[in-house]
Structure formats: structure tokens, C-alpha cells
Amino acid sequence: KLTNEELREKINEYKKKLSVTVVAHFYQRDEVFEMGDITGDSLELAIKTKEDKSDYVVFCGVGFMGQSVKVLSPNKRVVMPKAACCAMATMIDGMQFDASVKTLNEAGIPNENILPITYINSNAEVKAKVAQMGGMVCTSSNAKKIITKALEEGKKILFVPDRCLGQNIANQMGLKSCVIGDGSNPAESDIICFNGFCSVHQLFSVDDINFYRKKYPGILIVVHPECDPAICDAADFVGSTSQIIKYIKELPEEQKVAVGTEFNLVNRLRPKNTYVLSSTKPECPTMNETTLQDLYDILKSIDEGAPLNEIHVDEETQKWAKIALERMLAL
């Protein structure tokens, strides 16, 4: 078994030898994140990787992210050191999307009055279906902008899969929202959300916020919009991963801050005065699956001409999912 030091050395040798770009999301383990040639949040990774010229993208993250790279650049070979799936993205498939549209139809909303928007945390099949109905993708960085644009069409928004992001944006914009199955009439809402969620971001509670505010008066509470609306309402700042990083970088060093998002990211934000907004370690289990050993193994498999965990998307799905992503990027 190789030590991390030996693995790092061998990974760097492969990176020099092969036409590969290692891409890593902010939630990856530190030792994997440090090997990234391109790092960022989901939106930044989608944009930066599109410009990349190597033959292989080695994507350290979760499935929908690697899949988005493949969809945007079908000629690239995209491999993942671990075939890890975001739990939220697995909550909705094409059939469940169709069933959600049907629920809206039954509430008297015809297809021509529905504009679907899918959070990038969804599989290519769902993105393709959304595009076929005239909709597009959003990320937590641009959700408000995309929804503002979509509302100009005067339609109801079907927002999948994250109910929290959908409701939080609706609250920020003073719009009415509901969750499919919550007993309310979708026809009375502007944004109708699918009942998906991120279990990592559900770990934070208003009690945690009260605890920190009592312990450190003046502390700032910063959270990701995948947290429950009650948490976002009580926070001082709500933002995507990159927005959180930027916000915290600009704070004076002595300003205390408690952050409600994934542990690996929070842990490398700032050396002092930074707390995790939870007594339970908020680690994303699937983001944490990728290890240095996996990264080494995948590079070795490329070198040997038999790459492991390569992503494939069928042509029709790829074509439509690309339209959904490109509509977002055009904005």
C-alpha cells in the first residue's frame, strides 16, 4: 500500500505524462482537492472545464457534475475516480419528472403554462426532459437570475429536485411557493417545487443558530440555500459555495462566523474565528468517497488504455441536456 506522499508523487507523474485535467469540487477531501488543476463550485467547474483542451477530464466530485462535463463536451472522455452519486440528484428520474408535470396538469395548469427549471444537481435524463419543455438548468449561484428571467414568460415554474432552493428563492423574491404533495393547490403558487432535498444541508437547525448567537454575540451566520427556509430566514448571509467563500474572505479577521455547509469546505475557509454550524460533522458521504488511491488508480487505468468509470450519455439525452445547460450558460 502506497503512502499519501507516494501517491501524490505518482499522480503528478501521470499528470505530466498523460493528456488529462484533474477537476475537483470544493467538497472533496483536502488531499484530493489539492491535486485539482481546475477547482470550483458546480457552476465554475461546468464553465472552466468546457474550455479545457486535454483528452481526458478526471472528475473528482459526484455523478451529475461529471455528466454535465460530458454533456457540454461530448468529444471529451470523462472519467470519475469514484462513481459517486449526489443523493439529491437520485431523488428524481424522468418518470418522476413526468408525474410532477401531470400533477400540475391535474391542478388545471396546462403544459404551455409550465416552465420547468432543474437545479444542476439532477441527472442528464431530467435535464433533457426539462429542455424539451422549454426549460433550463440553474445552480445555487444563478438560481435567482434564472428564475427572474423565466418569470418574464408569465408561466408557473416547476422547480426540481431541491424544494429548499426553490422555496428560498421564492421567499427572497416575494413569490408564493409550494411543494408537490404538501396539500396545497399548485395553481395558487408561482414556484411549485419537487420534494427533493440534500440530507447534508438538512443537518443545520435554528437551535444551532441560537446556540452560536448566544455563545458569541455578534457572530455572523452564513448558510447554503440547500438549507431549510427557516434556517435561511434566520441567517445573516445565504449563498452558493463560491459566494460563501467570497463573503468570508472579505470579513475582518476578528469577525466570528458560523457556516452551514459541507465540512471539507468550511474546514479550509479560514484559519481562525470560523465554526461549523452543527454539532454533527456535515460531511457529504458521496463527495468524501473519492480518495487519493482512487485518483491514482484511475490515472493508471488511463495510462494502461482501459479507463475505469468512464461516463457515457446516449446521443438523444446528451443533445437535450446540453440545450438545458447552454440556456443557463447563455444567461
Interface residue list for ligand 13P (CB under 6 A): 41-43, 86, 121, 139-140, 198, 226, 240-241
- Examine residue 228 and tell whether it contacts ligand SF4 (CB under 6 A): no
Residue 125 binds which entry of ligand 13P, ligand SF4, none, CB below 5-8 Å type-dependent: none
Interacting residue with ligand SF4 among 200, 265, 266, 295 (CB under 6 A): 200
**Residues in CB range of 224: below 8 A, 6 or more apart:** 140, 201, 238, 239, 240, 241, 244, 260, 261, 262
Q: What is the C-alpha to C-alpha distance for residues 328 and 220, in angstroms, rounded to an integer?
A: 32
- Examine residue 86 and tell whether it contacts ligand SF4 (CB under 6 A): yes
Q: Cβ(172)–Cβ(239) under 8 Å?
A: no
Q: Are strands 237-238 and 56-60 parallel, antiparallel or unpaired?
A: unpaired
Site pattern 290..329 for ligand SF4 (x: CB under 6 A): ----------------------------------------
Residue 42 binds which entry of ligand 13P, ligand SF4, none, CB below 5-8 Å type-dependent: ligand 13P
Backbone angles phi, psi at 191, to 5 degrees: -120, 120
Name the residue among 73, 83, 36, 71 with its Cα closest to residue 53. Answer: 73
Residue 232 binds which entry of ligand SF4, ligand 13P, none, CB below 5-8 Å type-dependent: none
Q: What is the C-alpha to C-alpha distance for residues 89 and 282, in angstroms, rounded to an integer?
A: 18
For the bound state, the minimum distance from the C-beta of residue 244 to ligand 13P, rounded and expressed in Å, comes to: 8
Q: Cβ(38)–Cβ(49) under 8 Å?
A: yes
Residue 140 binds which entry of ligand 13P, ligand SF4, none, CB below 5-8 Å type-dependent: ligand 13P
Residue 41 binds which entry of ligand 13P, ligand SF4, none, CB below 5-8 Å type-dependent: ligand 13P
C-alpha cell at 273: 474565528
Binding to ligand SF4 (CB under 6 A) within 87-106 occurs at: 87-88
Quote the Cα angle for 263-193-136, to 5°: 85
**Which is closer to ligand SF4, CB of 289 or CB of 303?**
289
**Which is closer to ligand 13P, CB of 81 or CB of 260?**
260
For the bound state, the minimum distance from the C-beta of residue 141 to ligand 13P, rounded and expressed in Å, comes to: 6
**Residues in CB range of 82: below 8 A, 6 or more apart:** 289, 290, 291, 294, 309
Interacting residue with ligand SF4 among 124, 178, 198, 209 (CB under 6 A): 198
Cβ atoms within 10 Å, residue 331: 13
Q: Write the DSSP symbol of residue 81.
A: S
Strand ranges (E), 61-113 = 77-79
For the bound state, the minimum distance from the C-beta of residue 57 to ligand 13P, rounded and expressed in Å, comes to: 17
**Which is closer to ligand SF4, CB of 86 or CB of 179?**
86
Interacting residue with ligand SF4 among 28, 121, 122, 205 (CB under 6 A): 121
Q: Give residue 145's identity as a one-letter amino acid code.
A: K
Considering only 3-11, 98-106, 148-156, 280-288, which stretch makes contact with ligand SF4 by CB under 6 A? 280-288
Backbone angles phi, psi at 104, to 5 degrees: -70, -40
C-alpha cell at 264: 471539507
- Examine residue 80 and tell whether it contacts ligand SF4 (CB under 6 A): no
- Examine residue 57 and tell whether it contacts ligand SF4 (CB under 6 A): no
Count of residues of this chain found to bind ligand SF4 when the rule CB under 6 A is applied: 12
Name the residue among 202, 239, 195 with its Cα closest to residue 220. Answer: 239
Residue 209 binds which entry of ligand SF4, ligand 13P, none, CB below 5-8 Å type-dependent: none
Task: Reduce the DSSP state of residue 119 to 3 states and report it.
Answer: strand
Contact residues for ligand SF4, defined by CB under 6 A: 62, 86-88, 121, 198, 200, 226, 262, 284, 286-287
